[in-house]
Copies of this chain bind each other. A is one copy, B any other.
């Protein structure tokens, strides 16, 4: 491993350290290594079943002749309204995007509100209007819901849970286990905007070019790929933990390694500048409107052409590929993600460790 810079603690990749905390810490919710520990060592073993073990954003279910996907997320973002979006929009797009990542057409959402006593009605209605507009845009119906109110000091204005059901209209199983050696890895947009927009707002920072969240529906990007016959093997939106964390997770779940080119990954100048100021690595900053897709190399150009035709994915670019069998790197361990840097060195990516951006979604 002499040519690989490993700038994180040297934990085994497939075997995170044992869970030893006696209390849940904020870092357990950040989407990085501690989140993985909590999930894999505390939560998943208790609910053990094949669907959870798949490690996908959505469960893949079958009812009669219908193949559906089912997913959920709770949203606890602070602040509730931020540059480029709000918790309501995020709660719709986030769950819609999770269904899309399983190759499902989003159809129905639930909406469950946990409101803190004293939330201004105007804030609530602004957020509900935003949810309704986002649902309309994504062609989903909010068909069931729940509302709870908690006493002052026991919430933070509003938490929203959405669960979603989508229909897998297209053949094949789009999942981490379907990734193939040699697949091209496509990224749909520049990284780092959502996390940086939230952090800048929290810290009261102003940039010459204002940074807005990339919070968006991935419906046009995903449907153009699937409707035009691209044999997408896997997709994942680069949310909590950022691009690096989700690629490491996919590498581990598929048992395959990946090689990325650092110079190919789009990061806007303003994000680079903001991240330097705040000491953040853009590869670990959360996004809410970009995803990676693993596609057969033979369909790469077709996929890029289709994606670039949609506003949300017009920056689409290949950022690397899944290593082929027998390539030297694979002998150094399965499920690794290597980043070839601009200066020619190779950096081994890890999941995010510790707290980067709490309450980012």
Contact = CB atoms under 8 A, between A and B. Distances in A.
Contact of A124 (B24, B114, B156): B24
Contacts of A151: 26, 358-359
A28 B151 CA distance: 11
Interface residues of A, number: 80
B76 A68 contact: no
Contact of A150 (B39, B121, B124, B359): B359
Contact of A147 (B35, B112, B135): B35
A146 B115 contact: no
Contacts of A141: 47, 49, 51
B22 A52 contact: no
Interface of A: 19, 21-30, 35, 38-39, 42-43, 46-47, 49, 51-52, 58-59, 61, 63-66, 68, 70-76, 107-108, 110-122, 124-125, 128-129, 131-132, 135, 141-151, 153-156, 159, 161, 163, 165, 167, 358-359
How many copies of this chain are found per oligomer? 2
A73 to B, nearest CB: 5
B61 A64 contact: no
Contacts of A46: 125, 128-129, 131-132
Given A61-B108, A70-B110, A71-B110, A120 B23 contact: yes
Nearest to A136: B47
B165 A52 contact: no
Contacts of A132: 46-47
A58 B144 contact: yes
Contact of A72 (B68, B71, B131, B163): B163
B154 A47 contact: no
